[in-house]
Structures are given as structure tokens and as C-alpha cells.
Amino acid sequence: MSRSVKLATAAALGVVMIALLPVVSGAQQKQAKASVEQPAPKPPVKLGLGRPALPEEIQAWDIDVRPDGQGLPPGKGTAKLGDAIFQEKCTICHGEFGEGVGRYPVLSGGLGTLKADRPDKTVGSYWPNATTVYDYIRHAMPFGSARSLSNDEIYSLVAYILSMSDVIKDQDFELNEKNLAAVEMPNANGFYEDDREVSEKQFWKANPCMKDCRAAPKVIGRAMAVDVTPDNKAGPKVD
Ligand code: HEC
């Protein structure tokens, strides 16, 4: 493109922009006026995009299992079968006995520790419903290959994980969609409805203090003086 043509184009653009300016500001004014008057919202514009989801597509996403077992697919498994699947697909992160590798979650132990200073919250010690274990594995495990397990494999894995906490004792016990919801977890009664409206009522006031509610705190020491902050700019000395 020659220099003169470029210049001509730029000049033409300039004309267009100048011509547009009053139009834009006019539209803005109109908009500002409209927002004051608050007209009724317009119905959504149909963009002609997409299509209604097919029943099979909805079914493929609709995989949640509720605490009472609603949503469990037909299938069966045992801890013995689950052991073999677990060793193949889960131990790399969760360890052979569910002890957890590195910082990956521990899946066993922890029973009776919930009231300790450092509670060990595992499936067995903490989760209130066995059905949630099915739901969780079905949605998310093995990490990175979610949705790769069959329904029967998941029943077996749930049985194996529950057997690690002695919730299921017989390695050949058949877990299926009919009996999973009836499996009682050790912490089944550890959860309760939020009762703060009653238990914390004494903290509620009709007119809470919003200003000058207490005397200004008195500073009794400074970090540098009590020696928790290094006083030289280079930071603490390292031997
Ligand atoms: C690549 C590593 C990896 C593999 C393999 C893996 N998991 Fe996990 N698993 C995780 C991570 C990470 C979490 C925690 C995820 C989070 O909290 O968001 C987790 C969490 C879990 C939990 C919930 C633990 C809790 O107390 O919150 C269960 C149950 C579980 N995995 C089961 C399995 C099973 C069964 C398999 C094998 C089929 C498996 N995982 C394979 C990494 C893995």
C-alpha cells in the first residue's frame, strides 16, 4: 500500500469517527435517561444458538447419589474384589492400606479422634453416610481419570474402603444398591442441624454497638522490642 493511500484511508477514518461521535453520546444520553426511568426488563433475546439437551445427555450428567441412597445405580461388589482394584488404581496416591502417600488424603484410620486436638478426619472416622463414598468416587476418582470406573468396580471400592475402617468386616460381603444406604457409619450421628440461633442467642443484641464500643487497646510491647522482628535491613543473621 502506498503512503498516499494510507494517508487517505486515515483521513477517511477520521471523518467517520467524527461523524460517529455525536451519535454515540446521543445514545449514551438516552441510556442514562432510561436507567432513571427503569423500564421493565426486556424478555431474553433468542440467539438461535444451541439446542435442548437430549435425555441421554442429561442422564450422563445426572449421577448424584443422595444420603438415603436415591440415585444409586444397580450393581454389586465386595471388599475382596475392591482390594485388587484399589491396589491397581488408587495406591499410587492413597497408599496400599489407605495410609496416604505424601500429602494425598488418608483413607483409613482416625477412628475415635474427632474430639482430639488434631482430629484425623477420614471416610471411616468422619463421613456420616456410606452412600457419599459411592457418590464421591463416582464423580471424582481416580483423580485425573474420573468416570472411568464401572458401577460394580465402585461398589467394590466402597466396600474395600469401608473394610479398612472395619465398617464392613466380611471381605466377601456383597454391597449393592439395595443395602449400601443401610450401612451405618461410625460418625453417623456426629452431625446436627445448625443450632446457633438457639445456642448462641446470648451473643445477639437488638441494637449492637457500632461506635466507641471499648477503650482503645494499650500497646504494651512492639515486635522489634520483644525481638520477633529482625532490626537490621538485611534480615536475621544466618550462621
Ligand atoms: C493421582 C492421585 C489419586 C489417585 C490415583 C486416586 N486419588 Fe482419591 N484423592 C486424590 C486427591 C488429591 C483427593 C482429594 C481431592 C480433594 O479434596 O479435592 C482424593 C480424595 C479421595 C477420597 C476422599 C477422601 C476424603 O476423606 O476426603 C476418596 C474416598 C478417594 N479419593 C478414593 C479414591 C479411590 C477409590 C481411588 C482409586 C479408584 C483414588 N481415590 C485414586 C488423589 C488420588
pLDDT of residue 233: 64
pLDDT (mean) for 145-173: 97
CB 108 within 8 A of CB 121: no
Give the residue with greater pLDDT, 201 vs 72: 72
Answer yes or no: is the C-beta of 157 below 6 A from any ligand 1 atom: yes
pLDDT of 232 strictly over 70 = no
Per-residue HEC secondary structure of 173-223 comes to CCEECCCHHHCECCCCCCCCCCCHHHHCHHHCCCCCCCCCCCCCCCCCCCC
Amino acid in position 217: P
Distance, first Cα to last Cα, the chain: 68
Q: What is the mean pLDDT of the chain?
A: 85
Question: Which of 85, 94, 145 has most ligand 1 atoms within 8 Å of its beta carbon, as the pocket-test mutant?
Answer: 94
Q: Report in angstroms the alpha-carbon separations of 229 from 163, 170, 218, 225.
A: 51, 59, 20, 8
Atom of ligand 1 nearest to the CA of 123: 26
pLDDT tens profile 74-115: 999 999 999 999 999 999 999 999 999 999 999 999 999 999
Answer yes or no: is the C-beta of 104 below 6 A from any ligand 1 atom: yes
